[in-house]
Amino acid sequence: MEVKVVKDILSANDRIARRNQRLLDEHGILTINIMSAPGAGKTSLILQTITKLKQKARIGVIEGDVASTIDANKVHEQGVAAVQINTAGGCHLDANMIESALNNLPLGDIDLLLIENVGNLICPAEFALGEHKRVMLLSLPEGDDKPYKYPLMFTEADVVLINKIDLLPYLEFNTAAFHKAVTGLNPTAKILPVSCKTGEGLEDWFSWLLDAIGEIKRGGSIAC
């Protein structure tokens, strides 16, 4: 009985997510759902991406948080269209929230929409938003065993960014073991080690984004 309710919720969510994606396709907006645990560096990644790509693509941001507008303020200071969604205790964004946010963004003026999901490695992976690609950010200090503990998140990701690699000398993190764990769940995931603090490795992320924007612009959805 309980399972049935969950399925109904997810199926209603998927209907709205498909509607969102059609709208985003019509406008040729590449949309990325960025997910991670709290404090892994989602906002830093978004700020670095804005700084580097704002001359090449018109960027919009949807910020999801349980409370506060700290992140949206940081993004807004960069002169980028930003909408904050506060979930009031909810542990993930859903398609309905994104639909409301899209109504408040200048869709005709955006090429790349970055959605920062609520900091949580569990439920966000279950709720499609209408995005084209899912990006999962693991912060190095979280440890190399996380794919075993939060398998759905790693299974659903198109790109897995390993952030804070500047801390590698001070931590016990087995990069080979982490790669093995991720590819065991998700053989096609692209794994990119980066540091949003030093900028190391981010060029690969920017290239991947620009390629995906190009693909959307050439027409046709690249939905995951």
Task: Please select the residue that binds a second copy; options are 73, 148, 174, 177, rule is CB under 8 A.
Answer: 148
Q: What are phi and psi of 7, to 5 degrees?
A: -60, -40
In the chain, the largest separation of any two C-alpha atoms, in whole Å, equals 52
8 A C-beta contact, residue 61 and residue 75 = yes
**Site map (CB under 8 A) of a second copy, residues 88-107, x = contact:** -xxx----------------
CA distance 143 to 165: 12
List the interface residues with a second copy, window 67-86 (CB under 8 A): 67-68, 70
204 binds a second copy (CB under 8 A): no
Task: Please select the residue that binds a second copy; options are 145, 200, 203, 211, rule is CB under 8 A.
Answer: 145
39 binds a second copy (CB under 8 A): yes
121 binds a second copy (CB under 8 A): yes
Task: Please select the residue that binds a second copy; options are 13, 27, 31, 150, rule is CB under 8 A.
Answer: 150
Cβ count near 103 (within 10 Å): 10
Q: Which stretch binds a second copy (CB under 8 A): 49-57, 60-68, 105-113, 210-218?
A: 60-68
CA distance 214 to 207: 11
What's the DSSP call for residue 114? Answer: E
Contacts with a second copy by CB under 8 A lie at 37-40, 65-68, 70, 89-91, 118-123, 126, 139, 141-143, 145-146, 148-152, 164, 166-167, 170-171
